[in-house]
Structure 1
Amino acid sequence: MTEFTPLMSFAGGLMIGLSAVALMYFCGRIAGMTAILGGILPPLDRDWAWKATFLAGAVLAPAILAISGIRLDFASPVPVYAVIVGGVVTGIGVTFGSGCTSGHGICGLARFSKRSAAATLTFMAFAFLTTFVVRHIFGGF
């Protein structure tokens, strides 16, 4: 089982929300991580510079915290193969869903997008279903 960490979860959600608002305010862009990642892969799009900077910040921020002595626990109860399979399945879903959870769930809902509301409800329904099946039918990892 995973730990219940409401304060850390709230802080993480707050930082994600603030970064999405800052990106929209300063650059007029939506913080959909899949589109941002896709923009730095060949062929490069015209916004590749800010996208590379955004992703570098997402990678460097935890590294800076770790170097500063703040203890970070990145342990996962899920085996690596399951993370890889989940990533592939998520990538397929992102393609068919025209965006990822961050683009639809954080930015799309904030803009009152009906398409994003439908996508987010679908993401969440399948997340609940998958969690139930894995933990209660398959016995968890």
Structure 2
Amino acid sequence: MKTQIPNWLIILGGCGQIFTALIYPYIRHRVFDWYNDVKQLKPLNQEIAKTYGRYIQGLNFSFGLIAILIPTDLKNGTHLALAITGLIAAYWVAKVITQIAYYPMYQIPQKVIFKIGSYFMNFLFTLFAVVYTWLAISNLFKIISS
């Protein structure tokens, strides 16, 4: 595979992933009223929901840091590069599929800022899925051809 993914695109994706991690609490609180919904769960289920929310935030932030700090290593064709980019690609592809299949947009509050935000976030999720899938496939071809 001759196409080379530019570092700026990987770094841009990393910045976007960190942005999603930082904006995540705002979206849960202001857009989805998530905290009030979670309060209706049993205490253990509340903690489980909060823990998974933190996992999501932590993964998004960590994936972003990896992309910003070592973009060249993510495309060097090693088995580790394939494993990491494959993992991140699967994460974002699953997010995009879940977003389309299970999160109908009509539940987003109808304020203009939230509508624009939902399109922007969906764009980011798709960008992450495309960039990391491209990286994983590129790494796979480098491994096969070596």
TM-score by length of 1: 0.31
TM-score by length of 2: 0.30
